[in-house]
Structures are given as C-alpha cells and as structure tokens.
Structure 1
Amino acid sequence: MIKKIVILSLLLFSAGVFLFSENTDLKNISFQSDQVEDELLSSLLNEMNHEELLGQVLMLGYMGEEASPVILEWISEHKIGGIKVFGWNANNLSVLADTIGIMQKAALATPLGIPLIVATDQEGGWVRHVKGATSITPGNMAIGASGLPYDAYQTGLYIGRELRSLGINMNFAPTVDVYLNPLADVVGPRAFSNNPVQTGTLGTAFFKGMDDAGVISTAKHFPGHGNADKDSHGTLPIINSDKEFLESNDLIPYKMMIQEGLPAIMAGHLAFPHITGNDIPATLNPVFLREILREEMGFEGLIITDDMVMQGAQRNRTLAQACEESLRAGSDLLLVSRTPREHEKIWDTLSKLIYEDEEFYQIVYQAAEHVLRTKVQYLKREDAVPYIPEYKTDRSTIPATGSKDFFFNQAARSTTLIRKNTIPLSENSSVLIAGMFSEFRYKGRDFFPDSKILRIPYSFDSKEKWEIVDSILEQADSYDSIIFSLSRYQDLRVLKELSSLADQVVILSSLTPIYLNDLPWIRDAVAVYGTGEESFTAGFAAIRGDFTPTGKLPIPIDMPIPLEE
C-alpha cells in the first residue's frame, strides 16, 4: 500500500512539474519573444484577459509635460495601447524625450512587455504639435505647388527622423483631404491640392518617407474633410456628397495608398447623409468603417479615430457612449485626449460591457489584434523607433541633418507667381510691410531696408479694423508699395477696403491663397504656403526678382469667399 502511494505521489509530482513547466513557458511569452508575426500574435492574444485586450484599443492623452502618476497607472494597470503627444506636452524636447522613455519603460515592465504606440500630429506646415527645434516645413500645399513626389518623400523622411529621435513611432500624417470646398478652412494648406490623383501620389510618397524612418503613417481624415464647411472640433460637419462623388474624389487617395501598404487610417467626425441615410459620423458608422473601408476598399490596417473629445463625435451622446459606438462600428484604436476623469468613465463603461456582452468582447478582440499586428510589424523591425529616445543622448538629431537646406529649397520650388503688374520691386523701393507674422515683417525689412513695419493684430473687431484701414490709407502716399501678408479672413477684411490702392498693394499670400478669390482688384500677388522663415524668404526673394517662381497653384482661384462682418 505504501509503495502504491509513493508511486502515485511521484506521478503527481512529475505531472505537476510538467504542468508548471508548461505554464512557465506560457508566462514567459512577451512582445520580445522570438516568434514569427502570426505565432507571436496568437500567443499574445491567448495570454491576454478581457481587460488587457480592452487596454490595447485605447490611446490616451496626458496632462502636463511629464509622466504623471495617473498616466503611468493607466500604462501599468490598464496596459493601454498608446499615448498621444499634444502641443501642451511638447514645450521642451528634452523633457518630452525623458517622458516618452519613462512611459515606454512602464509598458515594457508589464508581464507581456507590450510597448506603446506613441503618436503625435506633425503634418508639416500649419500643424506641428512638437515644436522646439523641430523643422518648420512649408507644408502640404507647398508640396502640391511644386508637384514633386521627391518633395513629399523627403518631407516625410525628415519629419520621421525627428520624431524617431524623440521616441515617437506614429504620426497622424499625411493629411490627404482633397481641397474641394473653399470654405474648408480647417483643412486649407494642410491639403496637397484639389486634385485627388495628385493628392494620392504625394500622400503615398510622404508616407513612404516616414516609413523609411521607421514611423507609422496615418492618412486622414477618412472619408474626407475637404468638402466640409465646418470644423469637426466644434460641431459635426454635414457633407452632402453622394457615393459617386466620394468615389471619384475623396476616396481616391486612400485607394492609392492602400495599394501601397498604408499601415493606418484616421477616421474623421464627418456625416454623409446622402450615403448613410443618417447623420451618424464616419467614426461611429459601420457603413464607412466596415462596408466601405474594410470590405469594398480592402483595407487591413489600423483604423484610428480622431479625438473622441471633439464635438463632432459626441453629438447627442456621452463620450463613453461614443467610444462604444465607434468600436462597434469598426474602429480599432480610440483616441481620447483628456481628462483623466473622462478616461475613467470610458473604462468603467467598456470594461463592464466586455464581460457582459460576448459580441462586444469579440469586437474588442479583433480591434486589439489589429493594434498588436501594427506593433509587431513596426516596433519589432530592425530599424524600429527606439523605446528610449536617441535625443536623450544626442541633441544633434533635431533638426534632422540636411533638413534646413532642403526645406528652404522646397519653399523656393513651390513659390507661385499668381498676378504680376509692378513686381519685381527694387531693393531700394520705399515699402510699407503690413502683416501679422513677425517672421514676415522682419524678413521683409531684410529684403527692403527702406521700409516701415505695420503689425496687424491677430484679432480685431470692426472698429479696430477701420483703424487699421485708415492708418494704411493715411500712410500710402509716403511709400512706393505696400506688401501685405494675406493668410486668413481677418486680413481679407482689411484688404477689401483698400481697393483704391490697387497700384501699390502687393500681396504675399501664405497658407492657402483661396482668399485672393475675393480680391480681383489685386494686380500683384505671390504665394508661399508656409509661415516659417524659409517660406517668407522665398516669397520676398520672388517679389524682389531674385528668382523666377515656378510653383503652380494647387487650387483654383475662381470661387469667391463669403465675407461676413
């Protein structure tokens, strides 16, 4: 009897050792495991519980410049999939690099060691969330004006290299909205042009450049923000395009880029009632995300939402409800900027659902699989963006080597001569230089030493507008020419009152030149598309006749802009 008990005990012990060994092997699975893509994905997903899966579909913003205990807890406890770097996080590049390194270390210290997707908006030109010493580029519309895929590729490459240095491995760029509506001012110079094929060509080149820097590109704002007349940050734009129009315009860049292996797409908070039969935004609408993007267009990559805090997503619903609807509609990664209190409400709602609703669990599982596949494909590459930013030890990586010369030459290639009467102006001309941007004013003085500067305020009411107008009219006789910076409606309001000075006013347009539509009396106009030193240098050089501009207008100047006082 004793002999049987000993034998049975040995068998049980052996079985226990075997089971322990098997369990240990499973627990040793991590993101860094040396497995092929599909095997690693399967292993990770099999090890993840409901809440770990849910964490992967969340990309959260954080408050302040440093990694607070709150965001570190979200990374360590909830194991969120990503972090979004906003402008308020990026005032100091050294602090930003340290913060990203700390957050990645927290993610890598979790049992499965799954790193974070760290994203930002560094489109170039107008939108540049990470400032400091990073490159100020002429922007997408400048690339459209030169028309060169080389310019798009190099822009993506240089921006990608700078983000890589900071540990940022995803960029919400390029913007491939087709600039169809002159009132789409939230898009404006962020678009390449009004030509969908050119937009697709340049968008592809841009993403290939970032890809070669190891950064994940995210084309936006699907299905297209370029025909909207409202800003989805503050409201839900209702776009009356039908399916045929959308297929022939807005969707073409996405189709082209998907064929080239585009890894991620950001959906916009945009409603198309003539296509869906309702005003549910694309971010929450399975017609766009599942039927059109997945089934019809064959996109297999990552679908990210625009910030769910934006009003375009929350119309008649809470933030938590909007997040649930978006996942059910087909989104993979929910971008939620702030605040921690709202993050908790979202988590409470979704974590309850994932246990109670099997269908919702399967939806989250599939979304997490898309997130993890993107991470495996990009963050395990030989040239993957380092988890610990290079900028911590090498500050020479920003701005990227060679970027300054490239972006100046690109600004010059894109400079466009729109109207010509009295230009070029002599260097010795007596000039009044009027504009909002300090770079414009002081660069103008460099080119025309015998000049006076008039600062145009950022904002002004009707009374203040007339004070500006009267000041210019009173001084006009003292100058040969008036070089005016035109970049926004406020500038247009002033210029509408200066038609009596048609022989003197020279426009240096920056950002979008669309405002010239409402100024047919302007006889001299040069367009640049950025607001940095390189762009204004190129623009003034063209006005002075230092070179002949070769850029082509990327949008037509033939549609008047409604002007409201």
Structure 2
Amino acid sequence: MQQIKHGGRRPRPSSAPTIIAAMLCVVALVAAGTAWWMLRPQQKDALEHLAQPQSSSSTLNRDKAPTPKSQEHQKAADDSPAAKASRAIATMSLDERAGQLIMAPMFAGGNPADLSALISTRHVGSVVLIGNWNNGTAAAKTAADALQSYAPSGNQLIVSTDQEGGQVQHLKGSGFDTMPSAVAQGQMSADTLRSSAKTWGGQLKQAGINIDLAPVLGTVQVKRSSNAPIGALNRDFGLDSNGNAQHGIAFIEGMRDAGVGATVKHYPGLGAVTGNTDFTTEGILDTTTTLDGEQIGAFNTTIKQAKPAMVMMSLATYQRIDSSAPAAFSSKIIDGTLRGSVGYDGVVISDSLSAAAVSGIATKDLGVRLVDAGGDLACIGDTSYVTPILDGIIARAQSDPAFAKKVTASATRVMTLKYQMGLAK
C-alpha cells in the first residue's frame, strides 16, 4: 500500500485513545496466552487441527466429541460377553490361553483329583464326563463341584457330557430320566420335544453339567444298519433334512430353556459313511455329501436359527468338499463354510481327538491342526492325550506368530461362551 506523506511527518493523534487501545490489546493478548497455556495437550492439538484446512464434512464429523447417546452405546458394547472375553484374554499368558482350548475327560468311577493339576496348573478350561455314570444327579454333582474347585473362581469350567438318549446317555440313575432314542424323539412334535429337552436339561443342570454334547443332526443317506456311527444306533431323529433341523432346533431351545448349552454334531454329517470314526479308519470317507446337499442343510438351518453353544466337527473326510483332511482339520469346511458361508461365530469343538480315525496323526499335532483350521476346543477321550495336545499348541504358538493369533481368537470364543453362560466374571 502506498503511504501518504504529510510534510515528512504523520499528524500527531490525541494520546488518550491510543493509550486505551494499547492497554486493551495488551489485556487481550495476555488473556489469550494464559488460556492457551492452560489448555491440556490434546486440546492444543485439537485447536491446531482445526487451524488446518478441512477437505470434507466427514472429517469434521469424525472429530466431534461423542454424544451422550453414542457414549451409552459404547458402554453397552464394552459390557458384552465378547468384549469381556477380549479383556480377559488380554491378561492371560499363552499357557492360559492354550488351556482354554482343551476339554479333558473325566471317567465314571474316577477321582476328580486326578485332573486337579491339569486344571489348576495347566489351565485346562473344560471337562467331559464320559462312561457309565449310574449313580444319579447327586454323584455327578459331587464330581462336577470337585472339578470346579480346581478352577479359578472367575473362570469356571465348561462341564459337558453326551446326553443324547437311547444308547448314548452317559448320566443315569436317580434324578435322571431314561431318555428315549433320538429316533423316538423324532416322532414327537417339536413342541413336545422342546418341553422334554427342558426337563432333561434341568436334570443336567442339577448335576453340574452346563453343556450337552447333543443333538446329532446327521441325515442318514445309506441303509440304516450299515451306517455304524448313527443309523445303526438310532442317534439321529430319523427324519428328512427339514424334519431333523426342526427337531434339532427344538432340542437346543429346550436345553437353553433349562440353562444348558447344546452342541450340534457331527458337522457336516456322518449319515453317509459306514465306519464309526471312534473305532476305525475304514469306511470313513464320505463320497456323496456336498456343500449344497441335504445332509449339511439340516445343520446349516439349525445353526442359523437356533445358534447352538457349540458345533462339533466330524472326523470323517468329505471327498466332494475337501478330500485333503478330516472335517475337524479342514479350513475349507470350518473357516470357509461354517464360519464364512453359514456365519457361525461360536465355539467349534472337535469330536474326540483320541479316536481311531485320526490315530495316524502325531498326538502333538492334533490340537494344532484343529486350531489352524479355525476350530477352538479339542475334545479328548483319553487322558494321556491331554498334555501332548496342549504342549503341541503352545509350542507351535511360540514359534509361529500367525498361529498364536489363532490361539488368541479361539480362546476368545471359548471365553465369550463362558461369559454368556455366567461361568466367567
């Protein structure tokens, strides 16, 4: 700007207004400086941020403080079982996380104290009662309470059993009804089955059991007498895919009504094999089941509608889905189909890893292969397998960061279930 000269000097203004204006400027500058230095660092950062050009309204919205409503939503999310599980897992060592991935066996007539070190020192988080427990609810409750006493008070055990009915009912005696076979249950209406399952579940609850490893949802595809694991034992509902699904949903909801979680098994179905995976390596290649077939359809419908506590994986191999591995070790079946296409985000448990079907695999690798494929909980029917399977998981996690992340994810799913069931605090 061009200056205007007045004989080489500026006109001298009145001094009073100038002094007042100067004093006001000084006061304003002092106040601004004091306010600046009193700001917390994050407030200063925010002011500096606002001084920068903003490219879009979304940036401004992102920087706004949360409204009370969004804060309430955040608090509610933080109190969810999944959030609690994540916080709990964050405080656990690798050994503690790996222990949550093990379900150890407790045999009828055995001493619960035999599992005390596995639970208290090796952090095993689940137990299955197997064998012929014939002494009623009181005896089973005594055993379950003893087992729970070895676990941390804020992280109690999942205690399960196979209480299907018919030839597969491990807990009997006073306080337990004699359950009809699953085929007989299939002749009930869905409402009647739900009511009956609530009664059976209540008996399990009284015995200290919180998970039932039932129902079986295989849809028999071959002659029943030749289908050794399911049809020959009447372990299925004996219906078509839709009927099996509706009765599976009723059974799960009845158990849930009693406060007991249910487990659908054996995904994606054992209705098309002849061999029993518990006892043989022969006749356990399924050559017909497909991802869009009737047998897997019963499972998928039930899982989507009833959201069972667990899904148990079969130890058979499915030629038309993944011929490279048993279902329990197949990432295509677990991660790709069950978790991916079906959307199941709960606990995936194996069938017994001490079964004959997987006897050709090194014991230390059994749990590793399950977790690597997306599974969570290694069900074990032989106590001698527990330590090698647990050690195998830990060793692999120590040397493989990607696998260690899978261990963390699996342990989080198990702990989420525990929070949902009130077993963890």
Q: TM-score, normalised by structure 1?
A: 0.58
1:122 matches 2:167: no
Q: Which residue of 1 aligns with 2:200?
A: 159
The 3 A distance-change label for structure 1 pair 126 and 154 is farther
Residues 1:349 and 1:212: Cα distance change in structure 2 (over 3 Å): same
CA displacement at 1:287 relative to structure 2: 1.4
1:186 match: secondary structure: coil
* C-alpha deviation, 1:248, in angstroms: 2.5
1:143 lines up with 2:185 in the alignment: yes
Question: Which residue number corresponds to residue 87 of structure 1?
Answer: 131
Q: In structure 2, what is the Cα distance between the partners aligned to 1:262 and 1:62?
A: 23
Say which SS state the counterpart of residue 421 (structure 2) adopts. Answer: helix
What amino acid maps onto 1:357 in structure 2?
D
What CA distance in whole angstroms lies between the structure 1 residues aligned with 2:297 and 2:341? 13
Supply the distance in 2 between the matched residues of 1:290 and 1:230 (Cα, whole angstroms).
Answer: 26
1:268-347 equivalences in 2 (<5 Å): 268-278=314-324, 280-314=325-359, 316-339=360-383, 341-347=384-390
Q: Deviations over 1:154-207 (max 9, x none)?
A: 231111011000010000111111122112132121111240000000100110
The amino acid that maps onto 2:398 is Y
1:235 aligns with 2:277: no
1:259 and 1:92 mapped to 2: Cα distance? 34
CA distance in 2, matches of 1:56, 1:165: 24
Using a 3 Å threshold, how does the CA distance of structure 1 residues 90 and 47 change in structure 2: closer, same or farther?
Answer: farther
Q: Distance in 1 between matches of 2:311 and 2:318?
A: 18
| SS of corresponding position for 2:187 | helix
Judge conservation of contact 1:65–1:96 (CA < 8 Å) in 2.
no
**Number of corresponding residues:** 340
Cα pair distance change 1:233/1:380, threshold 3 Å: closer
Shift of 1:272: 1.0
The AA in structure 1 aligned to 2:187 is A
Q: Secondary structure at the match of 1:168?
A: coil
What is aligned with 1:560? none
Partner of 1:69: 113
2:97 corresponds to which residue?
A: 53
Deviation at 1:66, TM superposition (A): 4.7
CA contact (8 A) 1:303 1:331 kept: yes
8 A contact 1:294–1:300 mirrored in 2: yes
Question: Cα RMSD over matched residues?
Answer: 2.0
Please say if residues 181 and 235 of structure 2, whose CA atoms lie closer than 8 Å, have aligned partners that are also in contact: yes
**Residues 293 and 299, structure 1, Cα contact 8 Å, conserved in 2:** yes
TM-score in terms of structure 2 length: 0.76
Unaligned runs of 5+ in 2: 1-77
Q: Secondary structure at the match of 1:119?
A: strand
Give ranges in structure 1 of 5+ residues lacking alignment.
1-33, 385-565
Query: Is the contact between residue 304 and residue 342 of structure 2 (CA under 8 Å) also seen in structure 1?
Result: no
Tell me how far 1:356 sits from its aligned partner: 1.6
Contact 1:66–1:89 (CA under 8 A) maintained in structure 2: no
Distance 1:242 1:124, change over 3 A: closer
1:368 corresponds to 2:411: yes
Distance in 2 (CA, whole Å) between partners of 1:149 and 1:88 is 29
Alignment of 1:419-458 (within 5 A): none
Q: 1:36 to 1:291 in 2, by over 3 A?
A: closer
Deviations 1:243-280 (A, max 9, x none): 2xx523111222222222222110111111222133x2
Paired position in structure 2 for 1:101: 145
Deviation larger for 292-301 or 184-193 = 184-193
User: Matched residues in 2 for 1:66 and 1:317: separation?
Assistant: 28
Give the secondary-structure state (helix, strand or coil) at the position aligned to 2:266: strand
Q: Is the 8 A contact 2:354 2:385 kept in 1?
A: no
Name the % identity: 24
**Residue identity opposite 2:269 in structure 1:** G
SS of equivalent residue, structure 2 residue 349? strand
Report deviation, 1:91. 4.6
Cα gap change, 1:345 to 1:259, in 2 (>3 Å):
closer
Distance (whole Å) between structure 2 residues aligned to residue 349 and residue 296 of structure 1: 30
The one-letter code matched in structure 2 to 1:270 is A
* Cα separation, partners in 2 of 1:39 and 1:273, compared to 1, 3 Å: closer
Q: Which amino acid aligns with 2:419?
A: V
CA deviation after TM superposition for structure 1 residue 35, in Å: 4.3
Give how far 1:229 is off: 1.0
**1:89 Cα deviation after fit:** 5.4
- C-alpha deviations, 1:53-80, integer Å up to 9, x for none? 0000000003553544330111111111
Deviation at 1:366, TM superposition (A): 0.7
Deviation string, structure 1 residues 79-115 (Cα, Å, up to 9, x no partner): 1120000025565543321121121122134xxx211
CA distance in 1, matches of 2:220, 2:149: 41
Does the CA-based 8 Å contact 2:112-2:143 persist in structure 1? no
Q: Does the CA-based 8 Å contact 1:67-1:103 persist in structure 2?
A: no
Partner AA of 2:417 in structure 1: T
Letter in 2 for 1:269: L
2:299 corresponding residue in structure 1:
254
Structure 1 range deviating more: 193-202 or 35-44: 35-44
